[in-house]
Structure 1
Amino acid sequence: MITMLSDFGDRDIYVGVMKGVIAEINPQVRVVDLTHQIPPQNIAAARFCLMNAYPYFSDGTVHLAVVDPGVGGTRRAIAVQFANGFLVGPDNGTFSGLLSQSPALAVVELTNPDYWRISQPSKTFHGRDIFAPVAAHLAKGVPFQELGNPINSATLVQMDISGCILTETGIAGSIQYIDHFGNLVTNIPGSYVQGKTWYVKAAGLTITGSETYSDVEVGEAIALVESHGWVEIAINRGNAHSQLQIHLEDTVELAFES
Protein backbone atom coordinates (compact mmCIF):
# COMPACT_ATOMS: atom_id res chain seq x y z
CA MET A 1 0.00 0.00 0.00
CA ILE A 2 1.04 3.60 -0.63
CA THR A 3 -0.40 6.57 1.24
CA MET A 4 -0.21 10.06 -0.25
CA LEU A 5 -0.12 13.40 1.56
CA SER A 6 0.48 16.77 -0.11
CA ASP A 7 -0.46 20.43 -0.32
CA PHE A 8 -1.49 20.10 -3.99
CA GLY A 9 -5.25 20.39 -3.41
CA ASP A 10 -7.79 18.93 -5.84
CA ARG A 11 -8.09 21.76 -8.36
CA ASP A 12 -5.00 20.95 -10.40
CA ILE A 13 -3.72 17.78 -12.02
CA TYR A 14 -0.70 17.22 -9.77
CA VAL A 15 -2.15 14.44 -7.60
CA GLY A 16 -3.66 12.63 -10.55
CA VAL A 17 -0.38 12.78 -12.45
CA MET A 18 1.51 11.27 -9.51
CA LYS A 19 -1.02 8.46 -9.33
CA GLY A 20 -0.56 7.87 -13.04
CA VAL A 21 3.21 7.55 -12.55
CA ILE A 22 2.66 5.09 -9.69
CA ALA A 23 0.18 3.01 -11.72
CA GLU A 24 2.55 2.77 -14.68
CA ILE A 25 5.26 1.26 -12.47
CA ASN A 26 3.11 -0.74 -10.07
CA PRO A 27 -0.45 -1.13 -11.38
CA GLN A 28 -1.51 -3.51 -8.60
CA VAL A 29 -0.61 -1.28 -5.64
CA ARG A 30 -3.38 0.26 -3.56
CA VAL A 31 -3.08 4.03 -3.06
CA VAL A 32 -4.79 5.80 -0.15
CA ASP A 33 -5.08 9.59 -0.05
CA LEU A 34 -4.43 10.84 3.48
CA THR A 35 -5.03 14.43 2.42
CA HIS A 36 -4.04 16.84 -0.31
CA GLN A 37 -5.42 19.85 1.59
CA ILE A 38 -2.36 20.67 3.69
CA PRO A 39 -2.10 24.49 3.64
CA PRO A 40 0.44 25.51 0.97
CA GLN A 41 4.05 25.02 2.11
CA ASN A 42 2.91 24.25 5.68
CA ILE A 43 5.48 21.65 6.73
CA ALA A 44 4.28 21.72 10.36
CA ALA A 45 0.77 20.68 9.30
CA ALA A 46 2.20 17.90 7.12
CA ARG A 47 4.31 16.70 10.03
CA PHE A 48 1.31 16.60 12.36
CA CYS A 49 -1.01 14.80 9.93
CA LEU A 50 1.52 12.14 8.97
CA MET A 51 2.52 11.56 12.59
CA ASN A 52 -1.09 10.90 13.56
CA ALA A 53 -2.03 8.83 10.51
CA TYR A 54 0.72 6.24 10.17
CA PRO A 55 -0.33 3.95 13.10
CA TYR A 56 -3.53 3.04 11.24
CA PHE A 57 -1.75 1.36 8.32
CA SER A 58 -0.24 -2.09 8.08
CA ASP A 59 3.46 -2.78 8.34
CA GLY A 60 5.27 -2.30 5.05
CA THR A 61 3.15 0.65 3.93
CA VAL A 62 5.00 3.29 1.90
CA HIS A 63 4.08 6.80 3.07
CA LEU A 64 4.61 9.35 0.28
CA ALA A 65 4.54 12.92 1.62
CA VAL A 66 5.19 15.91 -0.64
CA VAL A 67 4.96 19.33 0.97
CA ASP A 68 8.09 20.71 -0.59
CA PRO A 69 8.70 24.47 -0.63
CA GLY A 70 12.42 23.79 -1.15
CA VAL A 71 11.92 21.69 -4.30
CA GLY A 72 14.83 21.99 -6.72
CA GLY A 73 17.08 23.56 -4.10
CA THR A 74 19.62 22.12 -1.70
CA ARG A 75 17.23 20.07 0.42
CA ARG A 76 17.71 16.32 0.06
CA ALA A 77 15.25 13.87 -1.47
CA ILE A 78 15.12 10.88 0.87
CA ALA A 79 13.58 7.55 1.71
CA VAL A 80 13.41 6.26 5.28
CA GLN A 81 12.91 2.73 6.53
CA PHE A 82 11.27 2.50 9.96
CA ALA A 83 9.62 -0.28 11.95
CA ASN A 84 6.21 0.10 10.28
CA GLY A 85 7.26 0.69 6.69
CA PHE A 86 8.84 3.39 4.56
CA LEU A 87 8.75 7.16 4.08
CA VAL A 88 9.45 8.95 0.81
CA GLY A 89 9.70 12.70 0.38
CA PRO A 90 11.83 15.79 1.00
CA ASP A 91 14.15 16.09 3.99
CA ASN A 92 12.52 19.20 5.45
CA GLY A 93 11.11 18.09 8.81
CA THR A 94 7.90 16.50 7.55
CA PHE A 95 8.98 13.12 8.89
CA SER A 96 10.34 14.35 12.24
CA GLY A 97 7.13 13.82 14.22
CA LEU A 98 6.65 10.24 13.06
CA LEU A 99 10.32 9.42 13.59
CA SER A 100 10.15 10.76 17.14
CA GLN A 101 7.69 7.92 17.81
CA SER A 102 9.23 5.22 15.61
CA PRO A 103 12.90 5.96 14.87
CA ALA A 104 14.56 5.44 11.50
CA LEU A 105 16.23 2.10 10.87
CA ALA A 106 17.92 3.29 7.67
CA VAL A 107 17.91 6.39 5.47
CA VAL A 108 19.03 6.91 1.88
CA GLU A 109 19.32 9.96 -0.30
CA LEU A 110 17.50 9.28 -3.57
CA THR A 111 20.51 9.47 -5.87
CA ASN A 112 19.83 6.48 -8.14
CA PRO A 113 18.07 7.71 -11.31
CA ASP A 114 17.20 4.12 -12.27
CA TYR A 115 14.19 4.53 -9.96
CA TRP A 116 13.18 8.03 -11.07
CA ARG A 117 10.70 8.69 -13.85
CA ILE A 118 13.37 10.41 -15.95
CA SER A 119 17.09 10.98 -15.44
CA GLN A 120 16.69 14.78 -15.64
CA PRO A 121 13.76 15.52 -13.32
CA SER A 122 11.82 18.76 -13.27
CA LYS A 123 13.21 21.39 -10.89
CA THR A 124 9.68 22.11 -9.64
CA PHE A 125 7.90 18.72 -9.52
CA HIS A 126 9.95 16.10 -7.73
CA GLY A 127 6.67 14.55 -6.58
CA ARG A 128 6.09 13.36 -10.13
CA ASP A 129 9.64 12.65 -11.26
CA ILE A 130 11.35 11.29 -8.12
CA PHE A 131 9.08 10.65 -5.13
CA ALA A 132 6.10 8.93 -6.80
CA PRO A 133 8.25 6.53 -8.85
CA VAL A 134 10.46 5.69 -5.87
CA ALA A 135 7.37 4.96 -3.75
CA ALA A 136 5.99 2.73 -6.50
CA HIS A 137 9.25 0.81 -6.80
CA LEU A 138 9.50 0.38 -3.02
CA ALA A 139 5.94 -0.97 -2.85
CA LYS A 140 6.86 -3.34 -5.69
CA GLY A 141 9.72 -4.79 -3.65
CA VAL A 142 12.83 -3.00 -4.88
CA PRO A 143 15.53 -3.36 -2.18
CA PHE A 144 15.70 -0.21 -0.09
CA GLN A 145 19.49 0.17 -0.33
CA GLU A 146 19.35 0.33 -4.13
CA LEU A 147 17.53 3.67 -4.07
CA GLY A 148 20.60 5.75 -3.28
CA ASN A 149 23.42 6.56 -0.92
CA PRO A 150 23.00 5.85 2.80
CA ILE A 151 22.94 8.85 5.13
CA ASN A 152 23.03 9.23 8.91
CA SER A 153 19.55 9.57 10.38
CA ALA A 154 20.96 12.06 12.90
CA THR A 155 21.44 14.53 10.04
CA LEU A 156 17.73 14.61 9.08
CA VAL A 157 16.04 17.99 9.37
CA GLN A 158 14.00 18.43 12.56
CA MET A 159 11.00 20.72 12.95
CA ASP A 160 11.57 23.37 15.61
CA ILE A 161 8.50 22.39 17.62
CA SER A 162 9.25 22.32 21.31
CA GLY A 163 7.52 19.81 23.53
CA CYS A 164 5.26 20.63 26.44
CA ILE A 165 6.88 21.35 29.79
CA LEU A 166 5.74 20.35 33.27
CA THR A 167 5.42 23.34 35.60
CA GLU A 168 4.59 23.79 39.28
CA THR A 169 0.93 24.40 38.44
CA GLY A 170 0.40 22.20 35.40
CA ILE A 171 1.73 21.93 31.86
CA ALA A 172 2.94 24.64 29.47
CA GLY A 173 2.44 23.95 25.79
CA SER A 174 1.55 25.50 22.45
CA ILE A 175 -0.73 25.12 19.44
CA GLN A 176 0.82 22.68 16.95
CA TYR A 177 -2.03 22.29 14.43
CA ILE A 178 -5.34 23.84 13.38
CA ASP A 179 -7.77 21.50 11.66
CA HIS A 180 -10.48 22.06 9.04
CA PHE A 181 -13.04 22.91 11.73
CA GLY A 182 -10.80 25.53 13.36
CA ASN A 183 -10.08 23.28 16.34
CA LEU A 184 -6.80 24.22 18.03
CA VAL A 185 -4.64 21.16 18.68
CA THR A 186 -2.04 21.59 21.39
CA ASN A 187 1.19 19.65 21.84
CA ILE A 188 -0.03 18.35 25.23
CA PRO A 189 -0.77 14.60 25.22
CA GLY A 190 -4.20 13.65 26.48
CA SER A 191 -2.67 11.07 28.82
CA TYR A 192 -1.77 13.90 31.21
CA VAL A 193 -5.42 14.67 31.99
CA GLN A 194 -6.93 11.20 32.33
CA GLY A 195 -8.98 10.94 35.51
CA LYS A 196 -8.32 14.56 36.49
CA THR A 197 -10.26 17.80 36.64
CA TRP A 198 -8.48 20.33 34.47
CA TYR A 199 -8.72 23.50 32.44
CA VAL A 200 -6.74 25.37 29.83
CA LYS A 201 -5.63 29.01 29.83
CA ALA A 202 -5.03 30.63 26.45
CA ALA A 203 -5.30 34.19 25.09
CA GLY A 204 -6.56 35.44 28.43
CA LEU A 205 -9.34 32.83 28.58
CA THR A 206 -9.94 30.00 31.02
CA ILE A 207 -11.49 27.04 29.22
CA THR A 208 -12.88 24.07 31.11
CA GLY A 209 -11.67 20.60 30.22
CA SER A 210 -14.39 18.09 29.41
CA GLU A 211 -15.05 15.01 27.26
CA THR A 212 -17.38 15.87 24.35
CA TYR A 213 -18.29 18.97 22.36
CA SER A 214 -21.88 18.78 23.58
CA ASP A 215 -20.81 19.17 27.21
CA VAL A 216 -21.09 22.94 26.65
CA GLU A 217 -23.74 25.08 24.99
CA VAL A 218 -23.56 25.84 21.28
CA GLY A 219 -21.03 28.63 20.72
CA GLU A 220 -19.13 28.00 23.97
CA ALA A 221 -15.44 27.10 24.15
CA ILE A 222 -14.31 23.75 25.47
CA ALA A 223 -11.03 21.88 25.94
CA LEU A 224 -10.98 18.13 25.39
CA VAL A 225 -8.87 15.21 24.24
CA GLU A 226 -9.57 14.57 20.57
CA SER A 227 -9.45 11.22 18.77
CA HIS A 228 -5.81 11.87 17.78
CA GLY A 229 -4.87 11.84 21.47
CA TRP A 230 -3.88 15.49 21.94
CA VAL A 231 -5.57 18.14 24.07
CA GLU A 232 -7.41 20.60 21.84
CA ILE A 233 -9.45 23.78 22.22
CA ALA A 234 -12.72 23.90 20.32
CA ILE A 235 -16.04 25.70 20.16
CA ASN A 236 -19.21 23.65 20.04
CA ARG A 237 -20.44 24.08 16.45
CA GLY A 238 -18.02 26.96 15.95
CA ASN A 239 -14.52 27.82 14.80
CA ALA A 240 -12.11 28.30 17.69
CA HIS A 241 -9.33 29.63 15.48
CA SER A 242 -11.31 32.55 14.10
CA GLN A 243 -13.48 33.22 17.16
CA LEU A 244 -10.77 33.08 19.81
CA GLN A 245 -7.96 34.47 17.64
CA ILE A 246 -5.53 31.83 18.86
CA HIS A 247 -2.92 30.83 16.27
CA LEU A 248 -0.20 28.31 15.51
CA GLU A 249 2.61 28.31 18.10
CA ASP A 250 0.61 30.46 20.54
CA THR A 251 1.24 29.37 24.11
CA VAL A 252 -1.29 27.55 26.26
CA GLU A 253 -1.25 26.47 29.88
CA LEU A 254 -3.02 23.42 31.23
CA ALA A 255 -3.75 23.40 34.96
CA PHE A 256 -5.40 20.96 37.36
CA GLU A 257 -8.00 21.63 40.03
CA SER A 258 -7.11 20.36 43.45
Structure 2
Amino acid sequence: MQISFEAPRCYALVPCAGVGARAGAPGPKQYEMLAGRCVVAHTLSALAAVPRLTGTLVVLAPEDTQFEQAAPGYRGWVARVGGPSRAASVAAGLTALRERGVQPHDWVLVHDAARCLLRPEWVETLIDACFDDEVGGLLALPVADTLKEEIEGRAAGTLDRRAKWQAQTPQMFRLGLLQSALAHAGEAVTDEASAIEALGHRPKLVQGALENFKITYPQDFVLAERLLRTR
Protein backbone atom coordinates (compact mmCIF):
# COMPACT_ATOMS: atom_id res chain seq x y z
CA MET A 1 0.00 0.00 0.00
CA GLN A 2 1.39 3.37 -1.00
CA ILE A 3 1.24 6.03 1.69
CA SER A 4 1.16 9.62 0.49
CA PHE A 5 2.36 12.53 2.59
CA GLU A 6 1.31 16.04 1.73
CA ALA A 7 4.21 18.46 1.76
CA PRO A 8 3.93 21.21 4.38
CA ARG A 9 2.59 24.55 3.26
CA CYS A 10 3.47 28.00 4.54
CA TYR A 11 1.00 30.47 6.01
CA ALA A 12 1.43 33.95 7.48
CA LEU A 13 -0.25 35.00 10.72
CA VAL A 14 -0.34 38.71 11.53
CA PRO A 15 -1.38 39.66 15.10
CA CYS A 16 -3.10 43.04 14.70
CA ALA A 17 -5.13 43.40 17.88
CA GLY A 18 -2.86 45.67 19.96
CA VAL A 19 -3.16 49.37 20.64
CA GLY A 20 0.55 50.30 20.59
CA ALA A 21 0.38 52.68 23.55
CA ARG A 22 4.13 53.52 23.41
CA ALA A 23 3.83 54.81 19.84
CA GLY A 24 2.03 57.96 20.97
CA ALA A 25 -0.55 57.74 18.16
CA PRO A 26 -4.17 58.78 18.70
CA GLY A 27 -5.34 55.26 17.81
CA PRO A 28 -3.84 51.82 17.13
CA LYS A 29 -0.45 52.31 15.49
CA GLN A 30 -1.19 49.76 12.77
CA TYR A 31 -3.79 52.14 11.35
CA GLU A 32 -1.60 55.25 11.22
CA MET A 33 -0.80 56.59 7.76
CA LEU A 34 2.71 56.22 6.32
CA ALA A 35 3.69 57.19 2.78
CA GLY A 36 0.06 57.24 1.66
CA ARG A 37 -1.06 53.92 3.19
CA CYS A 38 -1.79 52.55 6.63
CA VAL A 39 1.01 50.76 8.44
CA VAL A 40 -0.69 47.37 8.22
CA ALA A 41 -1.42 47.82 4.51
CA HIS A 42 2.32 48.07 3.81
CA THR A 43 2.91 44.92 5.86
CA LEU A 44 0.23 42.89 4.10
CA SER A 45 1.37 44.06 0.68
CA ALA A 46 4.84 42.64 1.33
CA LEU A 47 3.43 39.30 2.49
CA ALA A 48 1.14 39.13 -0.55
CA ALA A 49 4.24 39.30 -2.76
CA VAL A 50 5.69 36.06 -1.32
CA PRO A 51 4.66 33.25 -3.72
CA ARG A 52 5.30 30.44 -1.24
CA LEU A 53 2.75 31.74 1.25
CA THR A 54 -0.43 29.76 0.68
CA GLY A 55 -2.50 32.19 2.73
CA THR A 56 -2.44 34.93 5.36
CA LEU A 57 -4.58 35.35 8.48
CA VAL A 58 -4.90 38.71 10.25
CA VAL A 59 -5.95 38.50 13.91
CA LEU A 60 -7.99 41.51 15.01
CA ALA A 61 -9.54 42.62 18.26
CA PRO A 62 -13.22 41.58 18.51
CA GLU A 63 -14.32 45.23 18.51
CA ASP A 64 -12.13 46.29 15.56
CA THR A 65 -14.06 48.33 12.97
CA GLN A 66 -11.11 49.90 11.12
CA PHE A 67 -9.30 47.09 9.37
CA GLU A 68 -11.30 46.78 6.14
CA GLN A 69 -11.01 50.50 5.48
CA ALA A 70 -7.32 50.55 6.41
CA ALA A 71 -6.39 47.64 4.12
CA PRO A 72 -8.91 47.74 1.24
CA GLY A 73 -6.76 45.58 -1.04
CA TYR A 74 -6.40 42.67 1.37
CA ARG A 75 -7.99 39.43 0.18
CA GLY A 76 -6.84 36.99 2.87
CA TRP A 77 -8.44 35.63 6.03
CA VAL A 78 -9.54 37.77 8.98
CA ALA A 79 -10.39 36.53 12.48
CA ARG A 80 -11.66 38.90 15.18
CA VAL A 81 -10.37 36.71 18.01
CA GLY A 82 -7.50 38.81 19.37
CA GLY A 83 -6.75 38.66 23.08
CA PRO A 84 -5.19 40.91 25.74
CA SER A 85 -1.62 39.88 24.84
CA ARG A 86 0.37 39.01 21.74
CA ALA A 87 0.62 35.39 22.86
CA ALA A 88 -3.15 35.16 23.32
CA SER A 89 -3.78 36.65 19.89
CA VAL A 90 -1.33 34.31 18.19
CA ALA A 91 -2.77 31.28 20.00
CA ALA A 92 -6.28 32.25 18.93
CA GLY A 93 -5.02 32.80 15.39
CA LEU A 94 -3.52 29.31 15.29
CA THR A 95 -6.87 27.86 16.29
CA ALA A 96 -8.52 29.88 13.51
CA LEU A 97 -6.01 28.49 11.01
CA ARG A 98 -6.83 24.94 12.12
CA GLU A 99 -10.51 25.70 11.55
CA ARG A 100 -9.61 26.77 8.00
CA GLY A 101 -7.88 23.50 7.22
CA VAL A 102 -4.26 24.28 8.05
CA GLN A 103 -2.51 21.13 9.29
CA PRO A 104 -0.25 20.67 12.36
CA HIS A 105 2.80 20.02 10.15
CA ASP A 106 2.27 23.20 8.09
CA TRP A 107 4.54 26.15 8.70
CA VAL A 108 3.18 29.37 10.22
CA LEU A 109 5.16 32.60 9.84
CA VAL A 110 4.08 35.04 12.56
CA HIS A 111 4.83 38.64 11.62
CA ASP A 112 4.25 41.88 13.50
CA ALA A 113 1.72 44.18 11.84
CA ALA A 114 3.94 47.14 12.82
CA ARG A 115 7.03 45.83 10.95
CA CYS A 116 5.80 47.56 7.83
CA LEU A 117 9.13 47.80 6.00
CA LEU A 118 9.22 44.06 5.42
CA ARG A 119 10.54 42.94 2.04
CA PRO A 120 9.36 39.75 0.32
CA GLU A 121 12.93 38.58 -0.23
CA TRP A 122 13.56 38.53 3.54
CA VAL A 123 10.59 36.20 3.97
CA GLU A 124 11.91 33.99 1.18
CA THR A 125 15.30 33.84 2.91
CA LEU A 126 13.65 32.70 6.14
CA ILE A 127 11.61 30.02 4.35
CA ASP A 128 14.71 28.75 2.53
CA ALA A 129 16.63 28.50 5.80
CA CYS A 130 13.90 26.84 7.88
CA PHE A 131 11.73 24.76 5.57
CA ASP A 132 13.69 21.55 6.16
CA ASP A 133 14.68 22.37 9.74
CA GLU A 134 13.38 20.25 12.60
CA VAL A 135 12.42 23.25 14.74
CA GLY A 136 12.07 26.40 12.64
CA GLY A 137 13.54 29.82 13.23
CA LEU A 138 13.29 33.57 13.03
CA LEU A 139 14.79 36.63 11.43
CA ALA A 140 17.19 38.34 13.84
CA LEU A 141 20.18 40.67 13.95
CA PRO A 142 23.44 40.30 15.88
CA VAL A 143 23.65 43.04 18.51
CA ALA A 144 26.21 45.62 17.40
CA ASP A 145 25.94 48.24 20.14
CA THR A 146 27.36 48.12 23.64
CA LEU A 147 24.69 46.95 26.07
CA LYS A 148 24.19 48.69 29.41
CA GLU A 149 22.34 47.53 32.49
CA GLU A 150 20.23 50.34 33.99
CA ILE A 151 19.36 51.09 37.59
CA GLU A 152 17.25 54.20 38.31
CA GLY A 153 18.19 55.87 35.04
CA ARG A 154 21.94 55.30 35.34
CA ALA A 155 24.31 52.81 33.74
CA ALA A 156 25.10 50.19 36.36
CA GLY A 157 27.09 47.75 34.25
CA THR A 158 28.10 46.70 30.77
CA LEU A 159 26.73 43.44 29.41
CA ASP A 160 28.59 41.07 27.14
CA ARG A 161 27.10 41.49 23.66
CA ARG A 162 28.81 38.42 22.21
CA ALA A 163 26.33 35.83 20.94
CA LYS A 164 23.45 38.27 21.54
CA TRP A 165 20.85 38.70 18.81
CA GLN A 166 17.88 41.05 18.48
CA ALA A 167 14.76 39.09 17.52
CA GLN A 168 12.67 40.22 14.57
CA THR A 169 9.76 38.70 12.66
CA PRO A 170 8.62 36.69 10.79
CA GLN A 171 9.15 33.77 13.16
CA MET A 172 8.52 30.45 11.44
CA PHE A 173 7.36 27.32 13.27
CA ARG A 174 5.08 24.38 12.58
CA LEU A 175 1.52 25.03 13.68
CA GLY A 176 1.28 22.02 15.99
CA LEU A 177 4.55 22.70 17.77
CA LEU A 178 3.77 26.41 18.19
CA GLN A 179 0.32 25.66 19.60
CA SER A 180 1.84 23.34 22.19
CA ALA A 181 4.60 25.81 23.03
CA LEU A 182 2.22 28.71 23.61
CA ALA A 183 -0.10 26.58 25.73
CA HIS A 184 2.88 25.55 27.85
CA ALA A 185 4.48 29.00 28.16
CA GLY A 186 1.38 31.08 28.87
CA GLU A 187 0.74 34.71 27.96
CA ALA A 188 3.94 36.18 29.43
CA VAL A 189 6.10 35.35 26.39
CA THR A 190 6.85 38.27 24.10
CA ASP A 191 7.57 36.27 20.95
CA GLU A 192 7.00 32.82 19.53
CA ALA A 193 10.66 31.79 19.68
CA SER A 194 10.75 32.18 23.47
CA ALA A 195 7.78 29.82 23.78
CA ILE A 196 9.58 27.27 21.58
CA GLU A 197 12.73 27.69 23.67
CA ALA A 198 10.73 26.99 26.85
CA LEU A 199 10.02 23.51 25.46
CA GLY A 200 13.75 22.89 25.16
CA HIS A 201 14.10 23.57 21.43
CA ARG A 202 16.64 25.89 19.80
CA PRO A 203 15.16 27.97 16.96
CA LYS A 204 17.41 28.80 14.05
CA LEU A 205 18.67 32.39 13.82
CA VAL A 206 18.45 33.74 10.27
CA GLN A 207 20.10 37.12 9.72
CA GLY A 208 17.56 39.80 8.90
CA ALA A 209 17.94 43.47 8.04
CA LEU A 210 18.27 46.62 10.13
CA GLU A 211 15.42 48.12 8.10
CA ASN A 212 13.02 45.46 9.42
CA PHE A 213 12.33 47.35 12.63
CA LYS A 214 9.06 47.47 14.54
CA ILE A 215 7.29 50.79 14.95
CA THR A 216 7.23 51.24 18.72
CA TYR A 217 7.93 54.89 19.57
CA PRO A 218 6.78 58.20 18.00
CA GLN A 219 10.13 58.80 16.27
CA ASP A 220 9.83 55.44 14.51
CA PHE A 221 7.03 56.82 12.32
CA VAL A 222 9.36 59.52 11.00
CA LEU A 223 12.10 57.03 10.10
CA ALA A 224 9.66 54.56 8.53
CA GLU A 225 8.07 57.32 6.44
CA ARG A 226 11.46 58.41 5.15
CA LEU A 227 12.53 54.88 4.25
CA LEU A 228 9.25 54.01 2.53
CA ARG A 229 9.35 57.16 0.42
CA THR A 230 12.98 56.64 -0.65
CA ARG A 231 12.77 52.97 -1.65
Normalising by structure 1, we get a TM-score of 0.31
* Structure possessing the higher relative contact order (Cα contacts under 8 Å, 6 or more residues apart): 2
Q: Computing the radius of gyration over CA atoms, which structure comes out larger, 1 or 2? A: 1
Normalising by structure 2, we get a TM-score of 0.34
Give the structure with the higher percent strand. Answer: 1
